[in-house]
Amino acid sequence: MAEREVDRSVSQTVKAQLALRDQLLSGSLRPGERISELQAVETTGASRTPVRMALVRLEEEGLLEAIPSGGFMVKAFSERDISDSIELRGTLEGLAARFAAERGVSARELEPLKECLAAIDELLRQVPISVDAFSSYVTLNARFHALLTELSRSPPLIRQIDRASSLPFASPSGFVMAQSALPEAQQILIIGQEHHRVVIDAIENREGARAEAVMREHARLAVRNLRLALRNRTHLDLLPALALIKSATD
Amino acid sequence: MAEREVDRSVSQTVKAQLALRDQLLSGSLRPGERISELQAVETTGASRTPVRMALVRLEEEGLLEAIPSGGFMVKAFSERDISDSIELRGTLEGLAARFAAERGVSARELEPLKECLAAIDELLRQVPISVDAFSSYVTLNARFHALLTELSRSPPLIRQIDRASSLPFASPSGFVMAQSALPEAQQILIIGQEHHRVVIDAIENREGARAEAVMREHARLAVRNLRLALRNRTHLDLLPALALIKSATD
DNA sequence: TCCCCCGCTATTGTATACATAACGTATTCA
DNA sequence: TGAATACGTTATGTATACAATAGCGGGGGA
C-alpha cells in the first residue's frame, strides 16, 4: 500500500466514522445488513482498530445495532420510529426554549437568532421559492435550531438534543427536506417561520410555558407533514436519510 | 501472565467498561483527572484494545470527556447540570407516559406496574421505614420507572431515556437516594408514590396530558429535594454518584 | 537570573498478528 | 433423499508491537 497518504490532521477514527456515516446515509449499506469490518477497512482506508472505534461510536449514535453474536448491522427504522424521534426532539427543544425563557437571555445573545429570522424572512419573500433559496433555508433553519438550543445554557440538555438529532431524519435539516416533498411546502415553511418568531418573542418576554408549547407544536407540524410526504412520495429522493427506513413504508 | 484466567462468557470490553464505571462512581477517579490507559489496563486486567473500546463507550455515556490532545478525563458536573439532568429525564418520562396514555395500554400490560405500586404501598406502611425496606424501595422504584418507560412502546424514546439515566444522579435510584438524606424522607416517598398512582390512573383513562404533567411534577419534586439535600449535607455518602460533582458545591 | 530551545520520555493512535467462535458446505449415514 | 455432523473458512475479539506527538525537564544563552 505504497500509495496510502496519511493525513495526520484528523484521526483515522474520525475519518472512518465520517466515511461510514456517509455510506449509511447514502444507502449504499442497506438496513439490516451486516457491516463487514474488512469491507469497511477497504472502503475507508483506515485499519481495523480505528474502524472498530468508529463502529462503536456509530452504534452509540444510533445508526448501527450490535449483533449478539458479534459485529454490527445497519439499524432499520419504522415510520413510527421516525415520527417519535421528531416529537422527542421537539420536546427537548421545548425544554430548551423554556430554560432560555425562565433563566433569561440578554439582547446580545438573542441577536444572532433575530438575524437568522430576518434572513429566513428574506428568503420566504420569493414565491415560489427557488432551489438555491431552499437550500439556504435548510442551512439557516439548522442554525436557528442550534442557536436556540444553546440559549438554554444547559450542557446536559444540549448534549441530549445533539444526540437526538444524530438520527438524520430527526435533525432540523432532515425534516425540512421531508416537508419539501409536499406541494404546500412554501406555506409550511411560512408557518414554521411563524413558530420561530413566536418562540423568540416568548423567550424575550420570559414566558417559559409559551416558548415550550410553540416548539412542541413546531415538531408536531413536522410529524404531520412527514406523514403526508410519505403518503405521496414525490421527491423523496431529496431525503437520503430515508435510506434507513424499514420495509413498513413499502 | 500465566495466571490470567479469561472468562469468555462476557467480553473483555464489557468487563473493562463495568470496572471503569465502578471506579468512576466510587470516586477512586477524581473529576477532571486524566484517565491513563495503561493504568486502566492494570486495574481492569483487559488489554489496551478492549479498554479503549470501553473508554469510548463511557464517553458516549457521558461519564468521560475526550481531551483534544488525546485521551479522556473524568467529567465533572455542576449542581445545575445535575438538576437539569433530572428535569430532562422527567420530561422524557412525561413524554413516555403521554405516549402510553394516548396509544392505549391493555390491562395485562398495566398489571406489573400495579403490582409494583402495591409492593411500594406495603413498604411505606412502616413508620419509620427500615433500612431494608428503603433498599427494597429503591429497587421497586427503579422497576416502576423502567416499566413505565416501556409502556410508551417507542424504541427511540426508550433508548433516549436510558441514555438520560446513565448519568447516575439522574437515574431513579440516584435521586431517591439523594432524597433519603432529608429528614422528611418518608413524606417525600409518600408524595412520590402518589405521583405513581396518578400516572397509572391517567394512563388507564387515556388522559395523556395529565399523565405527562404528573411525571414532570415528579421530577421537579426530585430536583427540589436534591437541592435541599445538598444544602444540609447529611448522609450524602449514600450517594456515590456525587463523586462526579464539581467544586461548585464546595 | 530568567527565558527559550532542544531533546527525552511517556502516552496515545495505529497497524497487525493471533486465537477463537460462528457459519456454511460437503459428505456420510439412515 | 434428507438430515445431521464434521470440517474448513471467514470474521470477530483480543493482544501487542510500532510510530508519532505532546508534555516536561534540563541545559545553555542572553
Q: Tell me the CA–C1' distance in angstroms for B13 and D13.
A: 9
Angstrom distance (rounded) from CA A112 to CA A144: 8
Query: Which CATH class for the A12-74 domain?
Result: mainly alpha
C-alpha cell at A210: 409559551
Interface size between A and B, measured as CB pairs under 8 A? 67
Please give the average per-residue pLDDT across B212-225, as a whole number: 94
* pLDDT band for position A114 (cuts 50, 70, 90): very high
What is the model's pLDDT at position A249? 38
Residue B1's closest CA among B34, B43, B45?
A: B45
Fold that domain B79-249 belongs to in CATH: Four Helix Bundle (Hemerythrin (Met), subunit A) (1.20.120)
Contact of A156 with chain B, judged by CB distance below 8 Å, is answered with yes
Q: Nearest residue on chain A to B60, judged by CA atoms?
A: A60
Give the number of other CB atoms < 10 A from CB of residue B53. 22
Contact of B212 with chain A, judged by CB distance below 8 Å, is answered with no
Among the partner residues B53, B61, B88, nearest to A160 by beta-carbon distance = B88
Contact of B27 with chain A, judged by CB distance below 8 Å, is answered with no
Q: Tell me the CA–C1' distance in angstroms for B233 and D1.
A: 78
Q: How far is A123 from chain B (nearest CA, A)?
A: 34
What is the model's pLDDT at position A27? 80
Same fold, B12-74 and B79-249: no
Instruction: Tell if A4 CB is < 7 Å from nucleic strand D.
Output: no
- Burial of residue A130 (CB within 10 Å: 0-12, 13-18, 19+) is exposed
A159-213 residue pLDDT tens:
999 999 888 777 877 667 666 666 777 888 899 999 999 999 999 999 999 999 9
CA-based end-to-end distance of chain B: 44
**Residues B184, B185, B187, B191: is their CA dihedral positive or negative?**
positive
Please give the average per-residue pLDDT across B78-87, as a whole number: 91
Could you tell me which residues are beta bridge partners of residue B72? B35, B66
Provide the residue type at B228 as one letter: L
Domain borders along chain B are 12-74, 79-249
A28-80 residue pLDDT tens:
888 899 999 999 999 999 999 999 999 999 999 999 999 998 899 999 898 89
Instruction: Tell if B12 CB is < 7 Å from nucleic strand D.
Output: yes
Q: Which nucleotide is closest, CA of B6 to its C1'?
A: D14
B84 and A99 within 8 Å at the Cβ level: the answer is yes
B38-52 residue pLDDT tens:
999 999 999 999 999
Q: Which of B6-20, B60-74, B80-94, B198-212 has the lowest mean pLDDT?
A: B6-20
